[in-house]
Amino acid sequence: MTLQRPGAYVTTAGTTHGAVPAPQGVPAGETARRPVPTVRDLRERSGRSPRTLAFAAGDVVVVSGLPGSGKSTLIRRTARTGTHRIDSQDVRERWQARMPRLLPYALYRPLVRAAHYAGLRRALRSGESVVVHDCGTLAWVRRWLARDVRRRGVALHLVLLDVAPQVARAGQEERGRGVSGYAFARHRRAVGRLVRDAEGGRLPAGCVSAVLLDRDAAGALTGIDFPAGAELRLREQPRGAPPAPR
C-alpha cells in the first residue's frame, strides 16, 4: 500500500514523492503480478490541489461521500465527454419529470433504482470508462464493480469526498432534498468507515487506488479523464504555486 500525504504528488505513473513504503513481508513476485494499491490524500493542500484526475481508459471510478457532500455536482462538472456518467440522481430527476407532481417518490423509488442499476450494467458491458455515484452504504455495488473490472482486466478506483456532516446537511438543504436522521446516521457510519480505512491504507476489495478530497480539493477539480495508455495521474498546481518538493 502506498499512502501519499498532503504535499506529495505524482510526476509519472508509478513514481511518487513523500510516500510511505510498501508493507513488509510481501513476496517480490506477488507485488510484480498485481499493482500496489495507492491512497492519495489531497485534503488541506492550501490551494495546491490537482485540476485533473487521469485514469486509464476503460477503468471504473466510484465517487462516494455523504448525501449533500457534492458527489453529483462533482460528477457532472468533471466527467469528460465520452465517459459513462452513472448517477442515481439523474435517473430520479428523469422519472420525476414524467410522474404526477403529487405522487410521493417512495412509491416509485424501486423503479428508479432498477433503472439506475440497469443503466450501470449497460455502461459496464460497453467496456468504456465509467464514473459511478455511490452513497457509501451499498458495499454490494462496489463488490459487483470489483468483479466486473477483474473480469475485464481493467481497474477500479475510489474517489472519497470527506466533508463535515454539517456541510453535507447544508448541501441537502440547498438542493431541497434531505434524508432522514436515521438514514443520514447510516451514511455517516458507512462513509466514515471508508475514510478511516483509506487513511489507514485499507481499500475496498478490488480497488487499486483511492483519492481523498475535501470540499476545496473537489471544487478545484475540472476534469476526471481517461486518456488512452494513462495510469492514475494528478495534473496539478495552479499558476504561481511554488514548485512541489523533491
* 246 has a pLDDT exceeding 70: no
Strand order in the sheet with 156-161: 2-4, 38-41, 207-213, 156-161, 60-65, 130-134, 84-86
Reported as a pLDDT band with limits 50, 70 and 90, residue 230 is low
- What is the residue-averaged pLDDT of the chain? 81
Q: 1-25 pLDDT, tens per residue? A: 555 543 333 322 332 333 333 333 4
Handedness of CA 223, 48, 188, 67 (dihedral sign): negative
On the CB side of 46, how many CA atoms lie within 13 Å of its CA?
7
pLDDT of the residue at 97:
93
Reported as a pLDDT band with limits 50, 70 and 90, residue 231 is low
170-175 CB contacts, 8 Å cutoff, 24+ apart: 170/68, 171/67, 171/68, 171/69, 171/70, 172/67, 172/68, 173/68, 174/68, 175/68
pLDDT of the residue at 7:
35
- Of residues 243 and 83, more confidence is placed in 83
What's the pTM?
0.79
Contact 181, 188 (CB under 8 A): no
For cell 513488509, the residue is 24
- Of residues 123 and 22, more confidence is placed in 123
* 176 has a pLDDT exceeding 90: no
Contact 182, 11 (CB under 8 A): no
The grid cell for 47 is: 490551494
pLDDT of the residue at 36:
73
pLDDT of the residue at 218:
93
